Chains A and B, each alone.
Chain A
Amino acid sequence: MRWNLAYRTLFHDRGKLIAGLVGVIFSVVLVNIQGGLFFGLIHKASMLVDRSNADIWIGHRGMHNVDFAHPIPERWQYVVAGIDGVDEVQPLRVEFGEMSLPGGGYENVVLVGIPETTDLGRAYKVVDGPDNPLDLNDSIIVDRCDSEKLFGPDVGELREVNGRRVRVAGKSNGILSFLVTPYVFTNYENAVELTGSDPSQTSYLLARVKSGADCGRICQQIKQLLPDVEAMTSDEYAKVSINFWMTRTGLGLSFGAATMLGLLVGLVMVGQTLYAMVLDRISEYATLRAIGLSERELMSILAFQSALVSSIGIAIGMVITVILKTLLSTPRATIEIPFVLYVGCGVLIFAICLFAAGLPYLRVRRIDPHTALQS
């Protein structure tokens, strides 16, 4: 009976039901999109690492961000290569540079130099140009998403990096730096030449381990053999790079605050709507109390109504979120919603809606069944 009463009275007043649903849907969409934008943005901080095809990153002790590398001797790659379980080790250069623009200006870029003979560090996928554009002399790869910053270089166009001529040989899509500086990929020797830095040094050593090898153990061995370096698995270094921006920019706090604000607005809307629905039905609740419905049973009706509103709202909100994600997500403003965010958001908002039912409960508790005779 209680469930029949709960859902029939809920659906009877469609206006209030819709208002409640809008509150829940708003919260679900806001939290998911906000969270998705956050994940999309923050994962740019580790994009080079995530797509490096490497198992272990080795850099100078205290390395904390993939874009800000401190040089280490390149010859240490042979020390690492000698460790049991290591399959391949290659150097990677990550250094800042300046690219000339057609109008006479310059744009700061992050120059990434990768060896020709390996896929280690090859984070890009060529979408415009030949299959192996870095095989060409003085070639670079830029990203389509940075076209505006770099004044739209075409494939084959000549530019200068650090005053030396380069040719745009290919384009990738969606390899964006967390910084405003575009990534420019080139082969390792070319990067040494363009940056003019010490050829005996490198930014990182990337290692691939043999199948079944213990990455953690290998990292420990590397650190024992080379006390001046830090060795981390790719997952660890991705987290370190993300954490760098999260903690040093307050990004997590600001996104978190905005997300909490969305939750709060949704909570207020749902709570207010449920409260308004209860106020409209005080007379009915008093009647039910008068004819023998207990306070606990009345509360269960409120909780059921709240659960129903939240479940329907969450389902609709999820569908809208998926549609918006499909329509609005771009490489520049990626909306990346992991499954755990969908689930977490749904559970959180469901719990909040039940909590919001507590607001009208406070009013229901004060209902005097005697008022049924006074209406």
Chain B
Amino acid sequence: MHQSTAVDNRVGSRAETVGIALQAKSIAKSYVIGGQSRPVLDGIDFHVDIGECVFLAGPSGSGKTTLLSILGLLLTSDSGELFLRDRRVDGLSEVERTMIRRERIGFVFQRFQLINGLTAEDNVSIPLTMDGVPMREARERAGALLSRMGLAEHRQALPSSMSPGQCQRVALARAVIGQPELILADEPTAALDGKSGKAVMELLRELTTEFSSSTVVVTHDPRIYDYADRICEMENGRFK
């Protein structure tokens, strides 16, 4: 097993620890570069408990983002098994993977990745409306969540008129509004100053605890390590 040891409950207590939310077994992935196959992940074993927040840390090129992509069904592994709760999800078709991402996974991206033409409220509404929630109801729920996150006055603001910290809070709201089982965050504080970064992480922990979501965060930012239940350090496609 190439798995890190857990760093226990540095911030608050986990809402629920019964059962495994995500389990990866012997995940391997290679990229062909210059005609040669180069392994990026080398037989990774990994799991996240329900309600747990796990950080993936390590130097650039260690395979963190590739692992996150595979966990989020954005990439397929070359070999290995992947379970989301008790459902095996590796080897699914693109359409099936898309539906699982829609229904069970929330994403937070480094550059927020908000839709520029939509207001904050409409951006947050997207996961709900994709699930068939009527637009009016989705907006109401999105507005309530944004208000709770201190963005009541920015509900109708376009991303271009908001600060990076505000944008990341909107992105966070979009990730959690559907109350997914799993939230995957890729460098969520990399584009933010220290204060905004901490505010975003506090919100992330608060909301994931409330919704019993499990969280995997890829980060280089040691300032936020306190928010992890467990930190897994990666190097050369393996856990240290």
Contacts and interface: CB of A to CB of B under 8 A. Distances in A.
B94 to A, nearest CB: 8
Contacts of B65: 373-374
Contact of B135 (A4, A292, A370): A4
Interface in B46-102: 65, 68-69, 72, 74-75, 94-95, 98-99, 101-102
A291 B126 contact: yes
Contact of B116 (A1, A284, A295): A284
Contacts of B222: none
B117 interface: yes
Taking each of B99, B101, B126, which has the highest tally of chain A beta carbons within 10 Å of its own beta carbon? B126
Given A294-B95, A372-B107, A8 B117 contact: yes
A149 to B, nearest CB: 59
A77 interface: no
Interface residues of A, number: 28
Given A284-B116, A291-B127, A369 B74 contact: yes
Contacts of A9: 115-118
Contacts, number: 90
A288 B106 CA distance: 12
A13 interface: yes
A374 B125 CA distance: 24
Contact of A375 (B102, B109, B129): B109
A289 B98 contact: yes
A110 to B, nearest CB: 63
A290 B174 CA distance: 13
Given A369-B74, A372-B107, A8 B118 contact: yes
A284 B159 CA distance: 13
Interface string B106-135: 110111010111100010011101100001
Nearest to A8: B117
Contacts of B101: 290-292, 369
Interface string A62-85: 000000000000000000000000
A368 B76 CA distance: 12
A11 interface: yes
B108 to A, nearest CB: 10
A328 interface: no
A366 interface: no
Contact of B98 (A1, A283, A284, A292): A292
Contact of A373 (B68, B130, B158): B68
A5 interface: yes
B115 A284 contact: yes
A306 B99 CA distance: 26
B45 interface: no
Interface in A2-33: 4-5, 8-13
A291 B107 contact: yes
Contacts of A291: 101-102, 106-107, 126-127, 130, 174
A295 B96 CA distance: 12
Contact of A292 (B103, B116, B138): B103
Contacts of B125: 1
Contacts of B122: 4-5, 8
A366 B110 CA distance: 22
A302 to B, nearest CB: 14
A372 B109 contact: yes
B186 interface: yes
A12 B130 CA distance: 21
Interface in A325-375: 368-370, 372-375
B74 A11 contact: no
A11 B116 CA distance: 11
Interface in A194-245: none
Taking each of B94, B105, B115, which has the highest tally of chain A beta carbons within 10 Å of its own beta carbon? B115
Nearest to A373: B186
A180 interface: no
A287 B117 contact: no
A157 to B, nearest CB: 70
A292 B102 contact: yes
Interface in A264-313: 283-284, 287-295, 297
Given A287-B113, A292-B98, A293-B130, 8 more contacts: A9-B117, A11-B117, A284-B113, A290-B72, A291-B101, A291-B107, A291-B130, A375-B113
24 contacts: A1-B130, A4-B129, A5-B118, A8-B117, A8-B118, A9-B117, A13-B117, A284-B113, A290-B74, A291-B126, A292-B98, A292-B101, A292-B127, A293-B130, A294-B95, A294-B98, A369-B101, A372-B107, A372-B109, A373-B65, A373-B109, A373-B110, A373-B186, A374-B65
Top 10 closest A-B pairs, CB basis? A292-B102, A12-B117, A1-B129, A9-B117, A287-B113, A370-B74, A8-B117, A292-B101, A369-B74, A370-B69
Interface of A: 1, 4-5, 8-13, 283-284, 287-295, 297, 368-370, 372-375
